Structure 1
Amino acid sequence: MKTQSPFDLSALQQTLKGKGPLPILKAALAHYENIAISFSGAEDVALIDMASRLRAGIRIFTLDTGRLHPETYQFIEKVRETFDIRLEILSPEAAPLQQMVNEKGLYSFLRDGHQECCAIRKVEPLRRQLQGLDAWLTGQRRDQNPTRAELAEVEIDVTFSGPGKTLVKFNPLANWSSSQVWDYIEAYQVPYNGLHERGFISIGCEPCTRPVRPNQHEREGRWWWEDGAKKECGLHAANLES
């Protein structure tokens, strides 16, 4: 399958602007063979369900930070058993993680902010994974956070591209709302994380995630001790600032 030239990105952006998940997914899979879906263990499963209907054995990866909820680990295994996919679980490098914990303790993020911990547990493993891909798919949506209000359907990933290597990122759920995702999950009987039934909406690591109250924005449950403008872990931050 032919790999799309990055010089065609502008035309592809115009074609996909305002589109729903399926046209974006179909374009991504038509243009790229060496592509994978990032699965966070929450609502991204709707994206996995759609993609697995389009390409059998599609490649999926998820980040095991070592601090996930028990329900999230159980859910990841449920996804593995349910769909015709190749699921890869990524782990952080032991040495920098051990050094941080030994020097600063297990909860340094409450004092220093979450960026260092997320960089070791999430960003570095993701960087290693993306080095071997031409493109990737995420479950990001514009309604998830004010920082994602200008999220594009397809973009150059400036965070993880490098010299001689242009990485393209597709965001098929960009134009969907949370309610549309849940309508899909219910209509197609897609499995979901049991924590959603306990008031969790945006689900990350166990120490950094809590349920939200009625009428609170979903990202209020993530890194609740920090300012809302900082509530990105580093996986997408540079793209959202560009």
Structure 2
Amino acid sequence: MSTFNANQFALEFDTESPKKIIEQALAQFDNIAISFSGAEDVILIELACKVIKDRSKLQVFSLDTGRLHPETYRFIDKVNKHYGIQIDVVSPEHQALEAFVKEKGLFSFYEDGHQGCCGVRKVAPLRRKLGTLDAWITGQRKDQSPGTRNQVPVAENDQAFGTAESPLVKFNPLANWSSERVWEFIRMFDVPYNELHEKGFTSIGCEPCTRPVLPNQHEREGRWWWEEATHKECGLHAGNLQK
């Protein structure tokens, strides 16, 4: 929908509830999907199910990098059953992945950074999926990363994956929520969550690149812990983030 003004929407709805933002997003776009990472993004599904009449029309997708924790795969199945939906599991293109592994091996990211591996396993599949959509909904929050996400708006024109010919709108309904508020909601409404959270994991990604955090550590410190603490982005959102 080329006439949609994301910047104006962000100004008008900045203080609105995530439920209201999701309701408006679903009303504005028919070809829109929720991005589900297998962590607390389930709140997006919970809220969408409260405002959509026909759940069969609710589009949700998740990126399967092939390196996720077993708990995350079980969680995807649990969410499907809990909400009566079918999450579209998007995988990497096998030829590109096989070529990358042949050249770099399975753990090259410990030596030369995670961007190459994430590019093949996450960014390319996401780009393929987003190419079929007019808008998407993410669980980004401003407090997730002090170095990159502190300016996340509730809606934006996706500069990373959209083009002038095929514009893409990105909604971030949880942008103004804190981690504490996320977990208050999960407990209050008995929302299912990844069992890894009970083991000290806060921000959950691929198994080789994610570990539990210690008390008082920032939630993103468990991701790519061998790299700079304030710039931990895999490329899914980096193109739209202010540094």
Category of TM-score, reference length = shorter chain: over 0.9
RMSD: 1.2
Paired with 1:194 and 1:115, the residues of 2 have a C-alpha distance of: 27
Report the TM-score when normalising by structure 2: 0.95
Paired with 1:42 and 1:113, the residues of 2 have a C-alpha distance of: 23
> Structure 1 segments of 4 or more deviating over 6 A?
none
Question: Does 2:10 correspond to 1:13?
Answer: yes
Cα deviations by residue, 1:93-150 (Å, 9 ceiling, x for unpaired): 1111111111221100001100000000000000000001000000011111011000
Cα deviation for residue 11 of structure 1 reads 2.4
**What residue identity is the alignment partner of 2:145?**
N
Q: Which has the higher mean CA deviation after the structures are superposed, 19-28 or 120-129?
A: 19-28
Question: Does 2:31 correspond to 1:34?
Answer: yes
Secondary structure of the residue aligned to 2:230 is helix
Question: Does 2:98 correspond to 1:98?
Answer: yes
Aligned residues: 239
Paired with 1:9 and 1:42, the residues of 2 have a C-alpha distance of: 26
Residue 52 of structure 1: aligned partner: 49
Residue 231 of structure 2: aligned partner: 230
Q: Is the 8 A contact 1:20 1:176 kept in 2?
A: no
Paired with 1:9 and 1:175, the residues of 2 have a C-alpha distance of: 17
| Unmatched 5+ stretches in structure 2 | none
Secondary structure of the residue aligned to 1:228 is coil
Q: Is the 8 A contact 2:149 2:242 kept in 1?
A: no
Q: Is the 8 A contact 1:143 1:149 kept in 2?
A: yes
Paired with 2:235 and 2:166, the residues of 1 have a C-alpha distance of: 20
Mapping 1:1-242, distance limit 5 Å: 3=1, 5-6=3-4, 8-55=5-52, 56-57=55-56, 58-146=58-146, 147-241=148-242
Cα deviation for residue 84 of structure 1 reads 3.3
Secondary structure of the residue aligned to 2:26 is helix
Q: Is the 8 A contact 1:142 1:150 kept in 2?
A: yes
Cα deviation for residue 21 of structure 1 reads 0.5
Paired with 2:72 and 2:60, the residues of 1 have a C-alpha distance of: 16
Report the TM-score when normalising by structure 1: 0.96
Cα deviations by residue, 1:194-232 (Å, 9 ceiling, x for unpaired): 000000000000000000000000000000000023300
Secondary structure of the residue aligned to 2:226 is coil
Calculate percent identity across the aligned residue pairs. Answer: 56
**What residue identity is the alignment partner of 1:14?**
L
Paired with 2:39 and 2:228, the residues of 1 have a C-alpha distance of: 23
**What residue identity is the alignment partner of 2:63?**
L
Secondary structure of the residue aligned to 1:229 is coil
Paired with 1:170 and 1:9, the residues of 2 have a C-alpha distance of: 9
**What residue identity is the alignment partner of 2:98?**
Q
Cα deviation for residue 162 of structure 1 reads 1.8
Paired with 1:19 and 1:151, the residues of 2 have a C-alpha distance of: 15
Q: Is the 8 A contact 2:36 2:138 kept in 1?
A: yes
Paired with 1:197 and 1:110, the residues of 2 have a C-alpha distance of: 26
Cα deviation for residue 10 of structure 1 reads 3.0
